[in-house]
Structures are given as C-alpha cells and as structure tokens.
Structure 1
C-alpha cells in the first residue's frame, strides 16, 4: 500500500510538473482554447459539415492559428509570458463570443468591413442585444477563469526560467507550416476556397475564425487599394458585359405609369410566405393580401431577397442602383459617402420628380444621411422630423401607424410628381410590440424569436391599410404607382425547427431554406394589367423594371438587373454567397436541387455543364458589380443625358429642409396641399393608434 501510494503520488507530481513548465502550460492553454472553439463550432454555428474529411478539418482548424497567436507569449520571460497568454486568450475568446452573438442574428460572421462601419451602422446588434444573448454564450471564457484560479492557487506554478527564443521561433514556423498544410487539405475538398467563394461559412469551416479574421482584414485593405488603383478603362469590361445582357422593355407595359408619383413601401423583414398565411384561421395580412391580388397589381411569387451582411442597406443598394451589396460589410456604410452613384432618385429628379425618403429612426443609421445625398434625394425625413414620445417607438424606431400618419403630413407638401420611399420598422427583430397594439395571436412553434413575428407583421398590415385609405381619399391612389417589397428574411436559417412548423413540414432541407428567402414584390397602378407573375427574379431587378414602367429605356445606365416584365429577362437569381436559383435548378453550396420539385440530384454530364455555365455567369456578375463599388468606377462614366450628383447640393437639416419644401411648393404648386387650396389634408387621415388617442 505504501509503495502503491508513493507511486500514485509520484505520477501526480510528474503530471503536475508538466504544467509547471512554460511549454506544458502553453500547450494546455492552446488545447483548452481549441477544444472550446470546436464546441462553439458544433453548438453555436451552422457550418454544414459533410463527411469525415470536413469533420476532421473542423476539429483541427483552430490549432495552427492558436499555436501562432498564443506563441507570441513565448518570446517573453517570467510572469509576463503568462499574463500575455491570458490576454491573448481573452481577446481570442471575445472574438468567438462576438461572432456567436452576431451569427445568431445575421447567420453570418463579423467582418472587418462591418466592424469598420459599426459607428455608422450604430446598433447593428444594439437594441436587440439582450434578446440575442444566451447565458451559455459565456462558456467561451470558462477556461480563462479556471486557468487564472489554478495560477492564483498555485496548483500550477509560474515557470520563471527563460524560454529559448529559437524554440519560440520554431513554434511560429511550425504554425505557419501547419496553416499551409491545412489550406492544402481544405483545397482538396473545396477548390478556390479564397478566390471563388462568396460565403464566409466556408472559410470558417475549412480554415477557422482566426484565418477568417485575417482574410477579412486583407479583403478590407484590398478594397481600399482597389479604389486608388482604379482607372477609366476598367469600365470597358463592365460595359461590354451589360451590353450583352440587357433586356428590351415589354411594349405592353412600357410607359404605363409614365408621369405618375412613385411610392416605394419598404416592408421590413417581411417574407413572401406571410402573404395569404393564416394563424388559427385568421389572415396575418388581410390588406396586403387584397393588394397583392388586386386586378391592377402585378405580384411576383418567385422574387428573392439577395442581401448579405448589409441586410436592409443591401436591399436599398439593389433597389435604387441595381448594384449588388458587398460580400462583406455594407456598401452604404463604407462607400455611400465617397462613391459616385447613378441612383433612382437622381434619375427621376432629372426628369422633374421631387424625391424624398422617410425613415422613423436616426438619420445616421446605415449611413443614410450621407448616402442619400450621393443618391440624389432632395429630402430625407428621419426621426428628427417626427414627434417622439417613449410610447411612440418600439425596437428600432417609430411604430408604423404613427410613422405613416406623420409621414403623410410631409407627403402632402411634396410637389408632384414625386418619388417617395417609406421604410417601415415595427416588423423588425426582435418583433416587439406593446400589449395595447397586439390584436393577433402568435404562432406556437415554441421559438420565442419566431412566434411574435406574425403579430408585428399584422400590425404592419393594419398600418398599411390606414395609409391606403388616406391615399384613396386624397386621390393619390389613382395617380401613383405603388411598389411594395420585402427587404430581407425575418426569420433566419438558425430557426429550422420553427421554420418547419411554419411551413407545415416535418423537416426542411437546404432547398426549403433557399425558397424561404422569397420576399414580396408588388407593383400597383390604376389601369395596369395585374396578376400573379411567376417570373424568377430578385431585388437587383427592381430598378430597370420600374424605369421601364415609367417610360425610361435606361439603355446607358450601369444596372446589373433586368426588367422583370421583359421577355428577355434573365431568370438566373444570384445570391451573394455564389448560390443561385433558376426556374430549373436551385444550387445551395455544392448541392443541386430541381427547383420545381425540390428533389436533390446528382447532375448528369449535360446538367453539370449547364450548371457550370450558370455558376460562371453568377460569379462574373457579382465580381463586376463589386468592381464598380470597390473602384468607384461610376466616377469615370456618365450616361448620356445624366447629370452627375453633387452631394453638396442637399441638406437634411430640419429648418433648411422645411424652408426648401415651402419654397418648392411656391415654385411648383402641384402638391396635394396646393391642390386643396393650400389647406392640410391631414383631417382625412384616420388611425386607431392607441398612443394618439
């Protein structure tokens, strides 16, 4: 017994002595960090690993970068190297933590572009942060706490002996060699990982969060360099591509809304499945349903959101410029102030339209106050223009019923014809609404994020109904083209069980999730031949479609979308990560489905050739659009008949804007108020908003 006890004591002593050395403690820190990273991969992200090779790569991908970053401490002596190991661990853990929280909301990873623009985007997570956080997210810091306790309690003792510099250098070299090997192994499974993919999930899955951060930083720096190196001749390939891909207008629809006002109603986080959807036998959006099925409304049932990290800002970029958002970050935030644009407001302003945007939140959100000037908006009515009380706002800004009513006060003063974009907000994550405004049952999926979604959507529908009544009473309904579109998904792919219940399915596939990206797009104009249009398209196609309806051929503009009503419309719908949907194929990652049936296929030789051709087209189009934004190439090209926008011509200061509005009404007395003998029409606006009673 004595000998056995002594043996056990010696083993424990030997085991402890390993971690009492610099080398042993360093390896312990690296091991614990890589272990928790792998746990985070498996429990906090949806990376879509398939097969033993991908699982193996995922299990080891944190090791090379961890050896390198933690290895920095090995170049120092004494307690300092232990402090540095803990500091590096804390920084690395915070990067994991931040991505866990961000991914839960946006199904994507933080990029340097997003971080760089966080001041303008403001609360990208902000107001909904407490809703997103889970207590289990903090597990990423547990190893640090344990290690510090072990050091303080002297269970693990600090090794004060100098660690030889050549050994530290050898660790650094070994980590770089392992990174190279990791990349080579990843490339055998995913060729062109860093050159062809547009999906951050792939980079994290194959290379890890640290390598992704480095690649993102490189991309951001590359983007800055691209602008400084761009030249006029860079436009040649873009002009050639667009010339070969333009779609002629449909003679049956061209100019049918010429001279009419244009309303763009931005339906926040609104998905197509909500149209005609019922809960407990009740329609979630009865007014929008009637609008969608109106004989003078063209409703598109195969229209997809195509946003990336820029979310709403990406949707606006496509809607008003027919340029894609960026693979990382937000184009509006990073380039909205400095780039040259030829956007819808500027195009229509030069055709005699008054242009205005309405948004019940702070003007700097998504850098709108600067970007809108670059786009040529004469007026931007932000939260500064609306009466505010605590009860008037929820989540990200003014409640929709109050927003529409107060916006009408400015709309009635706009000289006609006008182009007005109204951005709703109440149907925004986390789908909060006070009890006095809830009059619709929540779904019962058990997902607290998903279930109130139909309630805020119903509230938006009621607000839209009140606004439509005002347009009818004032005559604006008859003299306007009213466009409604959903900007992006409201329920992310991270809520698969709940989505399955909403779609009345037992399980859902990647195909189902791709189709779940459909959002509404409807165009109403009195006298327009309406109906449900089954054409496949997306937000990139909105601008050319609207311009053709307004009688503008837009043959010289830089637009990557094509008219949805044209017989030559391109029905290849690109997603920002390189996936696509066509009437025939739906491609998600490396998996291909038949669009009509949702059946997963192994492509034949002829099918693969067809799919490769579509993929090359998608990749080319996304790359060329990126080149326009990164290089600010529109500064080198001005379409015939278009006058470049000077953002200095516009001011959104409250008093200045109101003075300009009064002045413009005198110079051009065509507003609704002017037609009403200078009297306000606000007595015609009726709302049941309880806050205003």
Structure 2
C-alpha cells in the first residue's frame, strides 16, 4: 500500500493513465466481447491527450486532485455507458445526457440492468480513497514535495495523441454502423467524432429549404416500386367520420399473440381482436433514443426519429405536421392519456408539437401503485373512457391516444393483479415476468373494449393497437432458451423487434396483411382508412399506407446500426458498410448468403432517413 501511495504521489499522470486504460480494456470486454489491442491504441491516444491537457493546465499542488477527479469521471462514464449498452444495445454518445433527467423515473429498469461485474470500474477509486485517508490520518500531506513532468515531453505526447486520434477518426468517418464506429475509434474518439458530425449537419442545414427537402423526399420515394400497379386505393374512407382510438402498448412484442402456455392463451383479447381486424404480423419497431416517446412521435407524424436525441427533446419546439393537425381540419378533438408525469421524456413539449388539444397525465389518475410509474392500465382506461363519453355526449368526433405502462421493464406485476399462473420453469425469470405483464396488459385492454361496447362507442370507433418497442432483454433471454421454453422460433433480432399492429374498423372483418411495415407507416395507413389523402393535403410522409403497397422497405437505427432495414423478405444489418453486412430471412430467420440483390434498398433507406432528418430539422418553431 505504501508503494502505491508513493507512486501516486510522484507520478499521478502515469498511474492514472494505466488505471484508465485498464478500464478502457474492461469496457471493450463488456461491450465488444474482446480487448482488441490494435483498437485499444485509439483509446490510449485519446486518454493521453486528455491527461496531457490536465498536466499542462494544472499546477503541481492540484495535480493529484485533478487527475483523481478525471479518473473518477471517466470511470463513471464507462460504467454508465456499459449499463446503457446492456439495456439499449448501443454505445451512447454525449447526446444521451439529455435523458439524464429521466433516470429516476426508470430507476427500477436501470437497476435491473446493472451487473455486479460493472462495479469493477470503481475498485481502484476505493483503494486510492483509502490511501488518501491513511495519509491524512498519518499527517503526511506531502506539502513541500512537488513533481512536475517536463513540459516538452508532455507537449510531444499530446501531439502524438492528437495525430493518432485524428488518424482513427478519419479512418472511421465513412462507417455508418455506430457500433462498428465506436469499436474502431474508441470510446472518447467516438464522442468527438459524434460532435464533429453533428456540427457538420447543423451547418449544412442552415442553408436548407423545407419545401425543397419535401420535394426531394417525394422524388426519392417515387423511385421505389412500392406498388406493382396503379389500381385505385383499397379501403380508402372505410372508417371515414369514425372516432379514432390509438393504443400504444408498452414493451409489447408480437410473439405472445396466439401463444399459449399450459393450454391458456397469453393474449386472449388481442387474439380475438385479430380475428376481426386488419393484422400486420411482420411489423417492426423503429424507435430511437426517445423510446416510447419516439414511437408516439412516429405514429403521429410518419417522420423517422433522428437517432441522436429523443424527438420530444430535440424537436418539441417545432410545429410538426401530424395526424392530430389533419384531424383538426375535420373538427376532431384530440386527447392523449399517459399515467406518468407529462414532463417524462418532455411530453409537455411533444404534445403541443404534434398538435394535441389536451393531455391527461399523472394528476388525472388515481394512483393504485401498480408499478414505479403509478397507476395501472385499468385506471388509465377508466379515466380515458370517462373523457371520451363526455366528448360523445357533445357529438364531437375524437382522436384519443393511450400510452400504456403496466408492461414496462422490469415487468413486475402485483400479485393481486396477475391473471395467469406460470410453469415452474419460467418462475423468477424475466421471460416469465414479461409474459405475466403482457397478459395483464391484454386483460386491461379487454376491459377497455368492454367499456367501449357498453357505452355505445365501439361501433363508431376505429381502434389501432400496436407495440412501442421490444420487451425482452437479450442478455437475460438467450434466443435458443426462449425458443425451447415457448415452442416457437425466437430470434434475438427479428423476433425481438417484431411488434404487433392491429387495426379494427367496424364492419370490415379480418384480414392478415403479410407485407412488412414499421411505425412510420401507421399514420399513412390510418389516414387512408379515414379518407384523408396525404397527397391532396400536401403532407410529407416518410412511411406508406400498408393496405395499398405490394413492397416496402423500412429503416431502423439506434437499436440496430444506421443502414439497417426490413423489406418484405429480409432484415439487413450493415457491417462497416453494405458488403460486410448480414441478411436474415424474415420467415425462416436463416442467414442469406447472397446479399447483392439488396444493395439498392440499403442505398435508398440511407438517403430516405437522411432526408427525414433534414426535414424535421427544418420544421418551423412554435411561438412561445
């Protein structure tokens, strides 16, 4: 211990460099499953630059303190990023800091994502603090002793570090896959590269034009063969004049539909609804950093999430073309319901941006302490039904959006609310907890539907039900084990990102739509059923009406690297680019060896998402 104390006193630069590099190696092991010495050089260069700056700007008296704080800060960043990766499956950039105020709201989910090994990032700090306390007790303050590195050597080290870091960033500048980019550049260089890229995009957009961008998007989409023929639109106006209720189900994947355990259906309500509705079994999430709030944004606007920031946070100050605004022209009242505080994910900005007339949040509901968010789905629907009946009495058509929360991670349902009994093999597992939560969510939806029928609203209402994003965490649910437990073929990407979309239109009956779709397609599909022509309205949509296309391609980013897409046949995930990417058949979930036929789809979706990003950045800001 004395030796460590002396070493730290004489050369904090060297000791802290070694400690931080050990943590960088640990981070790579956690995230990339290997230390990769050649790539670790990029980390070393960035750390060297950072420490050289501290060495040059800090007096001898404060060096120990400054280097100690740097070590602590980087330890915390690497720890948080590891936990973030464990939950989201991607390496965060500095833009994730915008979501720090949300952490307390999802602390149970965050806590469940932490592994004991993650605390290895802090072991050295505990030792150093102990050494410091021992020194204080002994009265050894080292006041008269100063040791400064020779400035010439520090400058040389800083220049070398900058050159090496610059080399790594230049070599990785063409990589669209964020995970590959982070792995290649190193954690700190990746943050700098993200900032440089954001600055370039912001500078480029200053000279942009919204109308030109919309025209470019329309022109690009015209090059893709979404339809084989120019036949008249099917189902146009099938729900014209009807009320619209959209239910966004929290963490709801598609596989529980029609699934039974021990002879008992997991989702009996949704199963019955599928038998009398349009059902889209090959429908996928497309959310970005904003998760549930991004799904709300997309389903109402048909604009891709930007990926680098929650859309509610980044663009909540805009006037967003949306379904509520279109329906307002038809004299609809638009309300949205969520049992959490409206400031969660900046929904207090999101809802005005989307043009909702009114929102109902936490104070509107009785807290029955279902989970960390508060009220149960049953309470959500109880209040919602009261408000909708009031609008019915005023003879006002309405658009109502319900954001459920009872199936939120970590999927703990109070015992008195559980509706099913799990097989012994699934008890005390995340899969078992998830199925229990999903079953309750289905049960509560059933009670809501019963209430709509009893109130006379059902026959005059189009009901849209979809999942916002995945529920099962890959680290807790090996796909082979899940497949064995449930008797299905479960894939960690295709099955995980596959969410349901069900649209019930009174009098239309059942139809299974086999084509692929994504959350950007909800708004155009709903608009078609309501008899609203987006073309006639001059509305720019980046999705398509799923009832009237023969082919589709939808992009995904954040949970998969930029450039990933689903089309009617495959899921494609790029490597450094297209050529080293992988494709999986959506039906068999087997790897496709020849990916060459999908090059055009890859190029197309990259350009479409770029135009979507430009479009939303150019939207006008709302008046204060």
On the 8 A contact 1:341/1:375 being kept in 2, the answer is: yes
Q: Does 1:463 align with 2:444?
A: yes
Partner of 1:206: 184
1:90-169 equivalences under 5 Å are 90-119=72-101, 121=102, 123=104, 125-150=106-131, 160-169=146-155
Q: CA deviation at 1:505?
A: 7.9
1:406 aligns with 2:397: no
1:39 corresponding residue in structure 2? 26
Q: Deviations over 1:93-146 (max 9, x none)?
A: 111121122223222333333313544x46464353333334432221112233
Distance 1:621 1:493, change over 3 A: farther
Match of 2:573 in 1: 588
1:273-309 Cα distance to aligned partner (Å, 9 max, x none): 1101223332111111111122xx0111100011121
Query: Residue 271 of structure 1 contacts residue 488 of structure 1 at CA under 8 Å; is this kept in 2?
Result: yes
TM-score norm. by structure 2 comes to 0.88
Q: Which residue of 2 aligns with 1:671?
A: none
| TM superposition shift of 1:597 | 3.0
Cross-structure match for 2:518: 538
Partner of 2:555: 574
- The answer (yes or no) to whether the contact 2:301–2:320 under 8 Å persists in 1 is yes
What is the deviation of 1:217?
3.7
| Correspondent of 1:599 among 590, 605, 618 | 590
Alignment of 1:425-440 (within 5 A): 425-440=405-420
CA separation of 1:359/1:83 partners in 2, compared to 1, >3 Å: closer, same or farther?
same
1:180 to 136, 149, 166: 166
Q: 1:81 aligns with which of 63, 67, 74?
A: 63
CA distance in 1, matches of 2:564, 2:441: 31
The 5 A counterparts of 1:306-455 are 306-336=286-316, 338-386=317-365, 388-389=366-367, 391-414=368-391, 415-442=395-422, 444-445=425-426, 448-455=429-436
- Runs of 5+ consecutive residues of structure 1 not aligned to the other structure: 1-11, 188-192, 636-645, 649-693
Report the CA distance between 1:543 and its aligned residue. Answer: 0.8
Alignment of 1:9-24 (within 5 A): 19=7, 22=10
Distance 1:349 1:57, change over 3 A: farther
How far apart are residue 380 of structure 1 and its match? 1.0
Distance 1:222 1:581 in 2: 29
Q: How many residue pairs align between the two structures?
A: 598
CA distance in 2, matches of 1:220, 1:613: 26
Matched residues in 2 for 1:622 and 1:418: separation? Answer: 31
How many Å separate the matches in 1 of 2:41 and 2:399?
Answer: 54
Match of 2:601 among 596, 611, 614: 614
Moved more, 268-277 or 75-84: 75-84
Equivalence map 1:456-495=2 (5 Å):
456-495=437-476
Say which SS state the counterpart of residue 179 (structure 1) adopts: helix
2:533 to 553, 567, 586: 553
1:256 is displaced (CA, Å) by 0.9
- Tell me what 1:301 maps to: 281
CA contact (8 A) 1:107 1:492 kept: no
Q: How far, CA to CA, are the matches of 2:270 and 2:13 in structure 1?
A: 61
Change (3 A) 1:229 1:441: farther
Counterpart residue number, 2:613: 626
TM-score (norm 1): 0.79
SS of equivalent to 1:504:
helix
Partners of 2:615 and 2:212 in 1: how far apart? 9
Indicate the SS of the match to 1:146.
helix
Structure 2 alignment gaps of length 5 or more = 575-580
Secondary structure, aligned partner of 1:264: strand
Contact kept? 2:108, 2:410, Cα under 8 Å: no
Q: CA-atom RMSD, angstroms? A: 3.1
Sort the Cα spacing of 1:180 and 1:228 in 2 relative to 1 into closer, same or farther, 3 A: closer
How far apart are 1:477 and its partner, in Å? 1.3
Give a deviation string over 1:44-88, Cα, whole Å, max 9, x none: x3x377xxxx93444444211111122233223434222221111
Contact 1:268 1:426 in 2 (8 A): yes
Alignment of 1:189-204 (within 5 A): 193-197=172-176, 199-204=177-182
Q: How far apart, in 2, do the equivalents of 1:238 and 1:410 lie?
A: 39
